[in-house]
Amino acid sequence: MSLERRAGVWGCGSSRAVAPGQRRGDPGEAVLERLEALEADVRFLCTELGAEKLLWSSRFLELLQEQQGLRQRGQQQRFLTLRG
């Protein structure tokens, strides 16, 4: 749509020359802008949650490895105690 038509030059400034939803300050346009902003926020949060998930997954694996090491040491100590 040309700038002249958006400005209302056609039709001597009547609002009929501008398509519905295309005027500045139109509530529908504001809602769309807000939805786009919310969509961007959701994408950002999904990215952040994905990063947090990776962080906690790696920490969980570290703890599992530590737990396995402690179990092995405990078993070795029991074996040495029983043996000795």
Reduced 3-state DSSP string for the chain: CCHHHHHCCCCCCCHHHCCCCCCCCCHHHHHHHHHHHHHHHHHHHHHHHHHHHHHHHHHHHHHHHHHHHHHHHHHHHHHHHHHC
Q: In total, how many domains does the chain have?
A: 1
Predicted pLDDT of residue 1: 41
- pLDDT tens digits, residue range 38-78? 999 999 999 999 999 999 999 999 999 999 999 999 999 99
Q: Which domain holds residue 63?
A: 3-83
pLDDT tens per residue, range 7-23: 444 444 444 444 555 55
